Amino acid sequence: MRVLVTGAKGQLGQDLIVHIEKYPWAIYGLGKAELDITNVEQVSKVITGFNPDVIIHTAAYTKVDQAEKDRDDAFRVNGEGTKNIAKAAASIGAKFCYISTDYVFDGENKIPYSTEDKPNPQTVYGESKLAGEKYTKQYCEKYFIVRTSWVFGLYGNNFVKTMLRLAKEKDEIGVVHDQTGSPTYTADLAKFLIELVQSEKYGTYHASNSGQCTWYEFAKEIFKQAGLDTKVIALTTDQFPRPANRPKYSVMANSTIENNGFQILPHWKESTQLFIEVLKEKEKVFYKG
């Protein structure tokens, strides 16, 4: 099988490449320098030249707050860029896997969002990612849309790394306690995506680690797993204002994964522990003593 990964230098993209390399497949991992997804001619040339069986599209504009001021840039990348990749995938009959986000929902639910719930994004970032979903459905028959949330992993910056870094600098850290979601370890997500694209079970999926927590609870678990005694202070969203609205509740039901015979992702606490063990070996700089 021939697999092309966009955004291959990103947090998820790098983990995908690492896990795909375990398979006897031809892999083409492209970062922004190798592929400008907003350049329709370049996209067509590169994709038809490699002629992949599967395209996993992780490249995205992910600056949630900055997007509120850079609407055009967000839509050019997440909307038009995705359209370019989707059309190229369809032209060669490739399976197309688009990585989306919990930000397509408004955060007002009291129970986990299902794939049948109507999106209602409250941010420019969420709107632009939803535009990518619509283009995916419009141009591809063989598509997977995979919404995920609160991503953390070995590559790039994320909440876990930030908390561990701050723990070296401060004795106490304030974290919001009125936003609830599901953390997602990129290694777990990568394994699921690889399993998914080998199938023909097309459609929309919600893929985050099992369970749910607030950012405050996530921070407390991070410090517990890392053996740190850093004090965590619960804050409200109003005490920590950001340009882009954060969903109050963005937990997504993983029933589509189960219903299609795939294994649900491990519990977020289990994956957090595993990730911190990896960090202990690779990035000891985060740890006191």
DSSP string, 171-221: SEEEEESS-EE--EEHHHHHHHHHHHHTS---EEEE---BS-EEHHHHHHH
pLDDT category of residue 284 using cuts at 50, 70 and 90: low
**pTM for the model:** 0.95
Characterize 208-242 residue by residue with b for buried, 16 or more Cβ atoms within 10 angstroms of its Cβ, and e for exposed: bbeebbbbbbbbbbbbebbebebebebbeeeeeee
pLDDT category of residue 283 using cuts at 50, 70 and 90: low
Task: Give the pLDDT score at 240.
Answer: 84
Q: Which of 125, 135, 205, 249 is catalytic?
A: 125
Task: Give the pLDDT score at 282.
Answer: 80
Segment 215-228 mean pLDDT:
96
Task: Please check the confidence at residue 85 and state whether its pLDDT lies above 70.
Answer: yes
> Which ranges of 34-123 does DSSP label H, i.e. alpha helix?
40-50, 71-75, 82-92
Mean pLDDT of the chain: 95
Domains of the chain listed by start with CATH number = 2-158+183-210+250-266 (3.40.50.720)
Task: Please check the confidence at residue 267 and state whether its pLDDT lies above 60.
Answer: yes
Percentage of residues of the chain with pLDDT beyond 70:
98
- Structure-token match 């099992």, residue found: 210
Task: Please check the confidence at residue 92 and state whether its pLDDT lies above 50.
Answer: yes
- pLDDT tens per residue, range 11-23: 999 999 999 999 9
Task: Give the pLDDT score at 288.
Answer: 44
Segment 198-222 mean pLDDT:
98
185 is catalytic: no
